[in-house]
Amino acid sequence: MLLISDTHLPGRARDVPGPVWDAVAAADVVVHAGDWCSADLLDRLEQRASRLVACWGNNDGDDLRARLPETARAEIGGVRVAVTHETGAKQGRERRAAAAHPDADLLVFGHSHIPWDSVATRADGSTLRLLNPGSPTDRRRKPTHTWMTLTLSAGRVGPVVLHHLQGAGPLPDGP
């Protein structure tokens, strides 16, 4: 599974970087947690991804909001996944997310452009894994552009890999 968010095309880059397109081709599921800013990337991901699970973000216009939910939900590998753009301030995020998504095992979110990986434990002892892949096109306050890959199998979240693309400034065009 590939996780991306906050691509902000074409404002932050002309396209997502080539290594992300390579990851799209390799992934059984692509998750995008909003702030596309252009429906062109949605069209291309729908064509190239084996399966796309996605939501809109606060910078997405009516065209994207008409095609995507505010929160997307899917069961993948026995894991109940929710995808939303905003979760609010980092202080208290786990508590708020666990309350807002009681039927999810994994919450993928964006907005901050800053990678995040944590676990919330609910009163009943169940857990919610929270992942923010950062941004492959806008490295806000971070040294690299980022995205994540992971596996979901037998109802469990496997190892999460945070991928880094070095460099500042404009990214090269993807395929």
Confidence check: pLDDT of 174 > 50: no
DSSP conformational letter for 155: T
CB contact burial 93-111 (16+ within 10 A = b; e otherwise):
bbeebbeebeebbbbbbbb
What is the pLDDT averaged over residues 53-68? 98
What pLDDT score does 96 carry?
Answer: 96
Q: State the pLDDT at residue 175.
A: 34
pTM: 0.93
Distance of CA 7 to the CA centre of its chain: 10
Residue 169 has pLDDT above 50, yes or no: no
| Alpha-helical segments (H) within the chain | 18-26, 39-48, 62-67, 93-100
- pLDDT value, residue 167: 55
pLDDT tens, 21-49?
Answer: 999 999 999 999 999 999 999 999 999 99
Q: Which amino acid is at 64?
A: L
Band of pLDDT at residue 173, cut at 50, 70 and 90: very low
User: Taking 60 as the threshold, does the pLDDT of residue 168 lie above it?
Assistant: no
- pLDDT tens digits along 69-88: 999 999 999 999 999 999 99
Mean pLDDT for 84-106 is 96
Q: How confident is the model at residue 157 (pLDDT cuts 50, 70, 90)?
A: very high
3-state secondary structure of 42: helix
CA distance from start to end of the chain: 20
For 2-166, CATH number out of 3.30.70.2740, 3.30.1360.170, 3.60.21.10, 3.40.50.2300 equals 3.60.21.10
Q: 118 has which bridge partners?
A: 130
